[in-house]
Amino acid sequence: MSWPRDDAKLDGVRALMAEIDLDALVVRAPDNVLYLTNFWGMKGYEAAVFPREGEPVLICLEASAEDAARSAWTDDLRFLRGYAPDDSRPPLARTLDLAQEVARNYGRVGLELSLGTQASDRMVGEPSTFTAAWFSGFGDAADATSLLARARAIKTEQELERMRLANEIAAAAMEHVRERIRPGMKESEAAALWQGFVHGEGTGWKGRVDLALPFSLVWSGPGIKTFTATGDLPVQQHEPTLFEIWVCADGYWCDHTKNVCPGTLRSEYAELEQQLLDVYGRALDHCRPGSSLAELDLLIRGGIAAAGYEGQPSHPVCHGVGARAHEPPYAHQAGEGTIEEGMVLAIEPGIYWEGGGGLRVEDNFLITPTGAEKLSSFPDGVVCG
């Protein structure tokens, strides 16, 4: 899917570069390359040089030339060989050579020097990491990590359109599971139902998605914990099966937690569901432009403590979503920052029982002038049937 250049997004990045007097950004994280050029690489060998003025440069494998010509928002493409007969170095060394050659045209450049996490390339299973030579190869470079985080926190209309596609696919896959999940099937089999739909039906979704990739953790009844891998425990009748799920649609993500139950929900789970949804509702009421992120964290954790679960959950309860499943901003009682119009936040309170069992609810919410707009059509809480 080729998207028109998102000038609103790129102009916003350039305005932030002007604030700190950066002449160019040199990025290599796949999500930042995507964010600035619309090219989502296959192997993570890609990089981009994004100037404050002028045409960006995309560096990618020769094998990706056709893909880059179709999808990238720049005509200035520089290609590296995956295998070079006269050069025994790994491909990333050739990426660095090309990036340095381009960056010499600029004065002060910014790198992702303090980047903590990144989304993967399209192949996912073997993420590429850059050597120390990358981080020391551009002179006295500035750290542009916070600049990119600020830019990415506020979504443009095009970004929202792309995220809505990911949310649609995730919800449709949950409807697929809802109709087919059965007591006794393994948690991994339930996960495969969801993942198979996302990859099979989501790729090509409405003629607008080139590649949809699924990621999931699935636990049932006493298997519900934070965080363990999907296992082979049986799906429980009258107890929730929890789906912690991400969809990546051409590099834009959603992050949900959904719960389905074959049969009628047991009374102790029904009580837990109501306690959690009460906290969730108050959290969503708080999510308005100008509200405190620290207060959101306190509100959720205080509500869970009042329900009798002091110290829970052990995971963050709010984070941004966009070109990664988890990205700034994060809500933390010891932090700062405010909720702003145009952010997309994942809100995810959870309560977990000693020894196994519990619930988490999570969806993605666009912050509008009047509050939080839910992006997924699949219900929150526990869906029984």
* 99 Cβ contact partners less than 8 Å away, ≥ 6 residues apart: 26, 28, 47, 49, 59, 137, 138
**170 contacts 245 by C-beta, under 8 angstroms:** yes
Paired tokens of 286: 């708080």
State the pLDDT at residue 227: 81
Q: Is 211 helix (H, G, I), strand (E, B) or coil?
A: coil
In degrees and rounded to multiples of 5, residue 300 shows phi and psi of: -65, -45
Pick the closest to residue 122 from 250, 245, 2 (CA basis).
Answer: 250
**337 contacts 293 by C-beta, under 8 angstroms:** yes
Type of residue numbered 278: D
Per-residue pLDDT tens listing for the chain (385 residues) = 689 999 999 999 999 999 999 999 999 999 999 999 999 999 999 999 999 999 999 999 999 999 999 999 999 999 999 999 999 999 999 999 999 999 999 999 999 999 999 999 999 989 898 999 999 999 999 999 999 999 999 999 999 999 999 999 999 999 999 999 999 999 999 999 999 999 999 999 999 999 999 999 999 999 999 889 999 999 999 999 999 999 999 999 999 999 999 999 999 999 999 999 999 999 999 999 999 999 999 999 999 999 999 999 999 999 999 999 999 999 999 999 999 999 999 999 999 999 999 999 999 999 999 999 999 999 999 999 8
Cβ atoms within 10 Å of 277's Cβ, excluding its own: 16
Name beta bridge partners: 59. Answer: 47, 78
* 305 Cβ contact partners less than 8 Å away, ≥ 6 residues apart: 311, 312
Rounded to whole angstroms, the Cα distance separating 361 from 22 reads 41
Paired tokens of 271: 């009580």
